[in-house]
Structure 1
Amino acid sequence: MFDATIATDLPKPAFYAELEQQARALLAGESNQVANAANFSALLYHAMPLLNWAGFYFLIDGELVVGPFQGKPACVRIAIGRGVCGTAAATKQTQLVPDVHAFADHIACDAASQSEIVIPLITRAGELLGVLDLDSPVPARFDEEDRKGLEALARVFVESIDGSLR
């Protein structure tokens, strides 16, 4: 059994360093995209405070399709360029949204969500695999330190599956 307990009172850089170590240990030796996404989303959801959704959308046939996640049921398909996830996919840039209601094209899958961060998943070859999406019921839950930490974690996930089944 894997224990994802991390002290939440650590400074964010230390918290993310510990979370990255746990993610590397959790994904070590496995390259299956679905298996790693399932465990990775569970790790984030249970280790990070104040989340109501943590999971993946994978690029399949030109659109984002929901993958493994933790939280309430989600939107199944998102067009590239639509909403926060589609924007992150289209731009290949992290979208840090302190107030989802102020994001012009926000897609509300869970009415409780107030803030969101979406990290594109890019292979070493520059190919978009999909996005990592985290939602919070707390406004402005995510900041630049979260962005840096979550981008590093997204790289750990991509490294674990790069070149494997998609």
Structure 2
Amino acid sequence: MNNQQPSMMVQQLDALLTNETDQVANMANASALLYSSMDNVNWAGFYRYLPDQNELILGPFQGKVACVHIKNGSGVCGTAFQQNKIQRIRDVHEFPGHIACDADSQSEIVIPINLPNGIRLGVLDIDSPIVNRFSESDELELAQFVSTFVKHLTIA
């Protein structure tokens, strides 16, 4: 997906966020778009990084209620943020230190969100009730989704 045409979902995000730079509004619409566009997903949303507390805090999302605070380095989200590396987890029950906010979640993908100026904003987190739900193709599309999201935050 990197050098290919953006997917329909990425194109929709680009159109949806055009001329809007508010972070919360963009996170809310992006999570709603993900949740309604992807099959077999039971949670899609954002965790924002709070540097003064060295933790992630719940941001806009779609799905069941979620954990509010995640320590940097804890669980899949905290690990993705700390390592600044996408975490595509086939079976969350095999991930050491997995934080079970929703017992229905079986697989998860988390993409770090970094601004061009080096500021680390947080992570995009998507859960599925199906083991091994997320493919390499999903990972590439979601990385492009995050890049498109970031582009709209840095216009202003």
Task: Using structure 1 for the length normalisation, give the TM-score.
Answer: 0.87
Aligned to 2:98: 106
1:29 aligns with 2:23: no
1:51 to 41, 45, 59: 41
Q: CA deviation at 1:50?
A: 0.4
Aligned to 2:138: 146
C-alpha deviations, 1:103-123, integer Å up to 9, x for none? 011000000000000000011
C-alpha deviations, 1:61-97, integer Å up to 9, x for none? 3210000000000000000000000000001100000
- Structure 2 distance, partners of 1:19, 1:74, is 24
Aligned to 2:151: 159
| 1:39 match: secondary structure | helix
Q: Percent identical across equivalent pairs?
A: 52
- Structure 2 distance, partners of 1:16, 1:163, is 19
Task: Using structure 2 for the length normalisation, give the TM-score.
Answer: 0.93
1:134 aligns with 2:126: yes
1:115/1:89 Cα in 2 relative to 1: closer, same or farther (>3 Å)?
same
For structure 1, the 5+ residue unaligned runs are 1-13
1:41 to 31, 54, 58: 31
| 2:7 match: secondary structure | helix
Q: CA deviation at 1:160?
A: 1.1
Aligned to 1:20: 10
Q: CA deviation at 1:143?
A: 1.2
1:103/1:26 Cα in 2 relative to 1: closer, same or farther (>3 Å)?
same
Q: How many residues align?
A: 152
2:78 to 86, 89, 93: 86
Moved more, 56-65 or 26-35: 56-65
- Structure 1 distance, partners of 2:155, 2:128, is 31
Q: CA deviation at 1:125?
A: 2.1
- Structure 2 distance, partners of 1:163, 1:103, is 37
- Structure 2 distance, partners of 1:16, 1:149, is 8
Q: CA deviation at 1:161?
A: 1.1
